Each structure stands twice: as C-alpha cells, then as structure tokens.
Structure 1
Amino acid sequence: MADVIEMTARRTPLSSLLTRIRYRTPGLGASLLNGAVAAGLGLGALAVLVIVLWISSPYPDSGPGGALQVAAVLWLLAHGAELVRADTLSGVPAPVGVTPLLLLMLPVWLVHRAARDAAADGGDGAPLVSGPTAWTGVVLGYLGVGAGAAVYATGGELRPEWFWTAVCVPLVVMGAAGVGVWTACELRPEAADGLLGAMPMRGRRPAPGAESPARLAAAARAAGAGAAAL
C-alpha cells in the first residue's frame, strides 16, 4: 500500500504539468495534426501523379522508390526550394530552381485551409484555439513532415539544396498559415485577441475597439491579394 501511494505521489507532478500545458495551449495537438495532414495531402497528390506517370512510362529507369523520391523533391520545389541534379553528363551537379506557380498554389492553399480551420474552431466540446496557438501548431506539424520528406529525397538523382530548403519551405508555410489565421479572425473575431496582444502598442493604436480584428483581417487579405496579383 505504501508503494502504491509513493508511485502515485511521483506521478502527480508530471500529470499536473501535462494538465497545465493542455490548459494553457488548448487545441495545440489538433493544430499539429492539421499541419501534418496538409503536408501529407500535398505529398500524396504529387505521389499519385508521379506514380501514374511512372507506371505509364514504357522504359522506367527506376523502381517505385525512385518515383516516390521524385514526388518528394517536386513537393519541396513547390515551396520554392532549389534542387540539385547530381547525375549529369559533365559530372558537375546542375541546379534546378524554377518553381511553377501553379505547383506553388497547392501547398499554399493546403496550409491556408489548415490554419483557418484550426483557428476557427476548437472542435467538439474543446476550448477555442487562439490565433498564435493555431499558427504555431500548423507550422510545426507541417514542417515536421517536410523535414522527413527532405531527408527521404536526399538519396535520389534530384536532391534538395539544404540551404534554400531550410529558408524557403518555412517562409512559405509561415506566411500561408498566417493568412489562414487572419481569415479565421472574421469567422471568430476572438481568435485575433492573442495576436493583438502580441503586437506593439504603436501597431494597435490605429485600430482600437471591437472592430480591430476585422480591420486587421481585411488589411491582411488586401496585402495577400496584392502579392498574389504581383
């Protein structure tokens, strides 16, 4: 009986710590899952396309593993990362760094939707998710899958260039997730409270009052539309 009491006493601090973490960051797990699912959907769409082309090719040069590596590097290329082709006639690695704009729209739309859904609702009976928590969870979940895809793609003929991969992929994900969170602010204005609190006082002065989240969301959409048009 004394051993049971001692073991229970040892578990109490850890249990209370996990409880405090869940209380302070509600919805973080769901946001992580949203980000990971968004990355998986993008990878899966490109993998299906590449596998179909590989099966229909009359002279495939590699097995399904090589086709999946091509899908992984195309997914990284869609985020603006530069690739390196190691197998060339001259023996000198050749860079591949032109990102098709329509290919870029796939990860941007998936991340935007994942962040919007994570910030708009906390789930069935779950507490509402704050904007910073939803943004952090989606970004970390997405980049976790992206890191695995980058490591997997290093064994193919087309390989990711690590510097640009580490710069471009996080920037695209963070930007798209930020726009998604701001979109959710219109659906649920209280999602912007945490973001407004994190802003400096000078940035909050032009938009005081209850209409601040809507104004900031409209400004973010206008900036995003201008960048997309450019």
Structure 2
Amino acid sequence: MTVVDRLLSALPGTEEPAGEAPPPWAPGWRRSAVIGVATGLVSALLVVGPVLLTWRADPLGGSATGDALAVGSSLWLLAGGAHLVAGTATLAFTPLLAFGVLVLVARLGAREAMVSVSTEGGIWGGLLPRPLAAAVGAWWGGYVLVVAAGWVLAARGSFPPLVWTLALPAVLVPLLGTGLALRAVAADDPDVVGARLTPRLPETVRRGVAAGVAGAWVLVAVGVLVVLGAVVLGWPAVAAVDHDLGSSGAGTWMLDGVQVAALPNLAVWVVSFLAGPGFSVVEGASVTWSGVESGLLPLVPVLGALPQPQEFPAAVGVVGVLVLAVVGGWVARRSLGSVARLSRVRTKLAVALSACATTAVLVGLLDAVGGGSLGQFRLSSVGAPAAHLTLALFLTLLVGAVPVVLRDAWRLRR
C-alpha cells in the first residue's frame, strides 16, 4: 500500500466492508483525480510558498497577502511555460530548472495515479488499456483544475497570464510527466503498454534517439560549467551588481533562487555561442564569435559575468566548433553501440545522423520553451534564436560524428 493509499484509507467512509464493492478511493479514476489535484497543489506550493514567505518578510507597500498569492500564482504559471503581461510588456522567460522540477512533480503524481491500476481490458485509442487511460485522464483533469484555479488568482493580480499560453502549464507539463510515468509502467508491463507507446519511427532513427538525448544532457552540462566558471572569474562584477540592487534577507534568497532556476537557460545560450549563432542579452548587446557588443544590461547579478565589450580572435570560433565536434563524436560512438558491429556504413551513418539531429532538436526545444522576452523595447528579444541554433548545432555535431563512423568502418576493414 502506497503513502497516498494510506492517507485516503484514513478518510471517513473509506473502509471496505466484506463482500461489497470496492471503496471510491480504490485504484481507478476517482483516486487518480484526487491525486491529480494533489499533484497540482504540491507543484504550485513549490513556487507560491517561497513567494508568500518573501512577501511576509518584506511586503511591497503594505500590500495584502492576496496580492502575494496572485503574484505567486503568476510565477508558478510562468515556471510552467505561460507568458505574463506586465502593463504593455510581455514576460516570456521560463526558468528551465523550475520547469524541469514541475515536470518531475507531475511525473511522480502521474505514476502514483497509475499504481495498482489494471492493464487488462480493451485498448483505448489503440494506445492504452481502458482502465489505465481512465486513470491518466482523471489525473490530468485534476491537475488542470488546479491550473485553472491558479489562472483565476493570477488574472486578478499585477501579472495576468496570456490565456493561450496556459496550454504549456496545463498540457505540456502534465504531458511530459505522464510520458515519463508511462515509461515506468511500460518497464513493468511491456507487452501491454510498451509496444503501443513506442513511436513508429524507422529503425535507424529510433536507434539514435537514446544517444541523442544523452548528447543534449552533455551539452547542457558543458554550458552550466562554462556559466559557473564565468561567474567565478567575474565575481567582482557579479558582486558589484548584487550590491547595487541592495537586496537583503528573503529578497536575496528569492533573487538567488531565480538565477539558479535560470541556469539551464544560460547554459543553452552558451551552447548557442559555441555553435555560432550566439545570443543577445538586450537589443544591441550580443555575444557571438566576432565579439561582445556593449549595451545597458538588466540589473541581474549573473549577467555581470559577461565579458567586457571586445572583439574575439578567429580562434574562438574554432574552439567552439572543436568542443561541439567532440560532443558529436561522443554521441556518434554511443549511437554505434545500438547497431550490429558488422552493419553497413550507410546504416551507421544514418543512426549517427539521427542521434545528432535528436541532440540538436532537444536543445532547440529547450531554447524555445525557455522563451526570449523579459519585457518590451530592448528587452523584447533576448537569448538565442532557436531555429538558427538547432540547424547550426546539428551541422557542427556532424563535424565530429561523421569521422567517428568512418573510422569505425575503416577499423573493421583492416
């Protein structure tokens, strides 16, 4: 019996008399719907809770707690991918680490909703057994109810969300969480679930997906290391910006938390720089292979780690290509492990190409979800261009992937 089952069984009227139908909290859609609501509340509390604590320590202009609840709800929806309206400006910057945490919470909740649910019976939509599909649908419905409540609260505050962007916190987050949960279910019952969840992709494409996902993780890790190294080297400038802000107490912790949550966003910017497109912090202030252009930056401490305006030598672009080529070679070698040793070169090249494409597309999607607007005018477009980044990254990864495949073929012919 799970923890949720123990809590539900303690509710009045949930005892199961002998010889009667199972209680309403038995595995099924009712229990799943309750878990969906609980998942949404836990997810919201992770963001709204710190906002309420910070507001209580330093209320803005004596504003009421209801204002803090509205702002917290807006920030929770922002962390889930929604865009916020601030006057005439649009805030479309999703901290990717916070987004990942929300997906993880959704995954845990969806998996709990599927516990002990039967996988027998008819297949719904050609995908899932009907009892499992009902449980997933009920859980999703409960989660969406909390998102709707958050939207009602946020709409009354200073930063109302754009309605059409609620599709990300209400659909994308639970969809990713459900997908990860179904992978766990498929591992336990692959005959019923796993085969139906496997995408109908060509064999060579499907074999490269796992290596491509690993490559995306590696690139984000490389970007994070570069950002942390830049912060260490530029610490005096970072500390000076933090001092100019004058934040203290709970405000400092809140600001630091937001910067940590946005660390993967900055990592993707670094990858874009290595690949060639570069990134812009504000209009007129960009970092590319050619150099750093000056501009008035937002008062965000981590941005103090950016290098001073200057022109870069041509070697900077070469180093960027070499770094990504090494990652591309690693991705290709990893993808070769999914095909037979004596497979044709054409097959191995196709699998390596699939792996590199998966890596590039995933990084591009991260950039797209992360958004690129911190306001209006000079802050209306920040970060890396997702489409350009995806194409440039794919081509650069191939620089390292193709030689690895050809070398593998040459070694077999010796």
Query: Is TM-score (shorter-chain normalized) higher than 0.5?
Result: yes
Q: Using the TM superposition, give the Cα deviation of residue 101 of structure 1 relative to its aligned residue in structure 2, in angstroms.
A: 1.3
CA distance in 2 between counterparts of 1:146 and 1:157 reads 18
Task: For 2:34, give the aligned amino acid.
Answer: L
CA distance in 2 between counterparts of 1:191 and 1:27 reads 18
Counting only pairs closer than 5 Å after superposition, residues 1-230 of structure 1 correspond to structure 2 as 27-57=28-58, 59-86=60-87, 93-122=88-117, 130-167=131-168, 169-189=170-190, 192=193, 196=196, 203=200, 230=363
Are the equivalent residues in 2 in contact too, given 1:78–1:104 (CA < 8 A)? Answer: yes
Percent identity between the aligned chains? Answer: 27
Change (3 A) 1:44 1:221: farther
Describe the SS at the equivalent of 2:156: coil
Q: Using the TM superposition, give the Cα deviation of residue 165 of structure 1 relative to its aligned residue in structure 2, in angstroms.
A: 1.4
Change (3 A) 1:167 1:100: closer
> Normalising to structure 2: TM-score of the pair?
0.38
Gaps of 5+ in 1: 1-18, 87-92, 207-215
Q: Which has the higher helix share?
A: 1
CA distance in 1 between counterparts of 2:34 and 2:152 reads 21
Map Cα deviations across residues 34-75 of structure 1 (whole Å, 9 max, x no partner): 211110001122222011101111654421000001111111
Greater RCO (Cα-Cα under 8 Å, separation 6 or more): 1
> Which residue in the other structure is 2:273 paired with?
none
Higher alpha-carbon Rg: 2
Are the equivalent residues in 2 in contact too, given 1:120–1:191 (CA < 8 A)? Answer: no
Describe the SS at the equivalent of 2:147: helix
Q: Using the TM superposition, give the Cα deviation of residue 199 of structure 1 relative to its aligned residue in structure 2, in angstroms.
A: 8.3
> Normalising to structure 1: TM-score of the pair?
0.66
Which contiguous aligned blocks of 4+ residues in structure 1 show a shift greater than 6 angstroms?
Answer: 218-224
Describe the SS at the equivalent of 2:143: helix
> Which residue in the other structure is 2:13 paired with?
none
CA distance in 1 between counterparts of 2:41 and 2:114 reads 20
Gaps of 5+ in 2: 1-20, 119-128, 221-362, 364-414
Over the aligned positions, Cα root-mean-square deviation in angstroms equals 3.5
Describe the SS at the equivalent of 2:93: coil
